[in-house]
């Protein structure tokens, strides 16, 4: 009785399912996947079943002389040596076709889910509020949705994402604010650092008071007056990119900004 052969057959049959499952996931964790073992296996088996059903249908349409034989598959999984020997003879007679079947299926299992994930992202089928969101949302990528604007519909995608963070500098709370350029996560899936542009800073103790807030609201009609009001409280940080480590941030504020369409050919204004 050869137990290694059935185990090898099960591995080859389920391998495309595991490959497809890992390809469709958008996970920020780069280290070990701590999903429950039962969930991983169930998802892989479902993927493998769907892929084999699709591939068997396509191959039978392309080449009607080579069709899937359940009898041979069951004999390969049997514990009887004689049945395994007969099944191996049938497999050897069609070895090139079976090899092409599994190789092409593994290639499709690698590329297909990646293309599907791209289509989901492209048409925002996973955004909050989408009818397909409960099935297509990437549950292991919370920072992706927060910092990319992926939860907005296509016509409401923010043009700019502004980030404000309070950082402890030599025992003093300093507020940094800028435009988000990129972000990175660590191997555990936690936010590691933010890359900002056009960064300004000010001590938190220099927060705007009520009188200054009223003055800025009254001067909102004049962009130059508003800019002078902001410049009076903030100090620009020289440099092209500012890297903010998330571990050093006390608080983090995210603002999505949609620029209004220019009415008379002028410069777009913040909505």
What is the band of 17 on the pLDDT scale with cuts at 50, 70, 90? very high
What CA–CA distances, in Å, run from 34 to 38, 145, 188?
A: 11, 21, 10
What is the band of 30 on the pLDDT scale with cuts at 50, 70, 90? low
pLDDT mean over 167-195: 93
pLDDT mean over 155-177: 94
What is the band of 28 on the pLDDT scale with cuts at 50, 70, 90? low
Q: Is 239 left (phi over 0), alpha (psi -120 to 50) or beta?
A: left
Would you say 83 and 75 are in contact if contact means Cβ atoms under 8 Å apart? yes
pLDDT greater than 60 at residue 190: yes
Q: If you count them, how many residues does the chain have?
A: 271
Q: How many helices (H) and strands (E) does the chain have?
A: 9, 6
User: If you average pLDDT over every residue of the chain, what do you get?
Assistant: 84
CB burial of residue 242 (10 Å; 0-12, 13-18, 19+):
buried
Write down the pLDDT at residue 56.
Answer: 93
Write down the pLDDT at residue 205.
Answer: 83
Write down the pLDDT at residue 206.
Answer: 76
pLDDT mean over 214-222: 42
3-state secondary structure of 61: helix
């Amino acid at each position: 009785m050869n137990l290694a052969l059935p185990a090898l057959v099960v591995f080859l049959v389920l391998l495309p399912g595991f490959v497809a499952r890992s390809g469709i996931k958008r996970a920020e964790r780069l280290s070990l996947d701590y999903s429950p073992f039962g969930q991983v296996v169930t998802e892989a088996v479902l993927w493998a079943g769907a892929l084999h059903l699709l591939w068997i249908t396509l191959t039978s349409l392309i080449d009607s002389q080579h069709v899937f034989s359940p009898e041979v598959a069951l004999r390969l999984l049997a514990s009887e040596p004689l049945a395994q020997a007969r099944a191996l003879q049938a497999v050897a007679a069609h070895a090139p076709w079976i090899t092409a079947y599994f190789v092409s299926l593994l290639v499709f299992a690698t590329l297909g889910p990646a293309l599907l994930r791209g289509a989901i992202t492209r048409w925002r089928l996973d955004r909050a509020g989408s009818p397909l969101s409960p099935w297509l949302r990437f549950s292991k990528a919370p920072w992706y949705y927060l910092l990319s604007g992926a939860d907005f519909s296509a016509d409401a995608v923010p043009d700019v994402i502004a980030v404000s963070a309070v950082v402890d500098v030599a025992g003093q709370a300093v507020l940094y604010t800028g435009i988000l350029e990129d972000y990175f996560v660590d191997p555990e899936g936690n936010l590691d650092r933010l890359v900002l542009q056009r960064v300004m800073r000010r001590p938190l103790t220099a927060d705007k008071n009520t009188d200054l807030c009223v003055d800025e609201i009254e001067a909102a009609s004049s962009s130059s007056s508003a800019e002078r009001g902001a410049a009076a409280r903030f100090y620009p940080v020289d440099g092209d990119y500012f890297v903010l480590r998330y571990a050093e941030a006390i608080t983090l504020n995210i603002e999505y900004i949609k620029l209004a369409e220019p009415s008379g050919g002028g410069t777009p204004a913040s909505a």
